[in-house]
Copies of this chain bind each other. A is one copy, B any other.
Amino acid sequence: MSERQEVTRARLLRATLEALGRHGVARTTSREIATAAGVNLQAITYHFGSKDALVAQALVDAVRKWIEPARTALTGIAGDPLGGLFATVAALRAALDEAHEHVPAYLEALATAARDEAVRAPIVAMLAELREALAASIRELRDAGLIASWVEPEPMAALIVAAGDGFVLHTTLDPDAHSPGATLDQVTRLLLAASMRDEPE
């Protein structure tokens, strides 16, 4: 594939993502995408087969931009549980701060995924990867004796990912919904509680 083709494809994807974030799948037209990308209308059909295929790929890309930084941050924990933990938390916070601008497109992606298998499958796979990376980190922390033995890596990872997702969605829709500092404090308390050796029965 020629370099010029790659450039055109990238411009189209980028323009699509921006348009989706601005006014959603429903009101994003081929003409607007092509104009914003600075390419011809026909280029969409030529490079992606159809407008729907271009939109589907752009939506999956939107989710990737959202999930990838978080997953990358988690790998910092591997091999150095305690030291990596702080770096990971810092990286996650940075990823979250940046996440809000992608949320509208992310929501479009989720809404489309609920209906369209071609969009759903790759998104579900990415979410699964994120959960697994987090579960591995939790397991390592637990084996190092840093958190309570009753913590089960997989379910706890799923719970944390879901909570983080919901938190960002709600915060984006309503900035007043959460006080970041107060929420962080409560999460920290919960983590401390989970790090106690006591086995509640």
Contacts and interface: CB of A to CB of B under 8 A. Distances in A.
Contact of A178 (B112, B114, B155): B155
Nearest to A108: B111
Given A155-B185, A182-B155, A113 B26 contact: no
B173 A114 contact: yes
A136 to B, nearest CB: 16
Interface stretch (A42-50, A65-73, A82-90, A157-165): A157-165
A170 B179 contact: no
Contacts of A159: 163, 167, 178, 183, 186-187
Interface in A160-201: 161-167, 169-170, 172-174, 177-179, 182-183, 185-187, 189-190, 192-194, 196, 198, 200
A174 B115 contact: no
Contact of A111 (B104, B163, B166): B104
Given A24-B115, A110-B107, A198-B196, A162 B166 contact: yes
A22 interface: yes
18 contacts: A22-B115, A23-B115, A103-B114, A104-B111, A111-B111, A155-B183, A155-B185, A155-B186, A158-B178, A159-B163, A159-B183, A161-B166, A162-B166, A165-B169, A166-B166, A189-B200, A190-B193, A196-B200
A143 interface: no
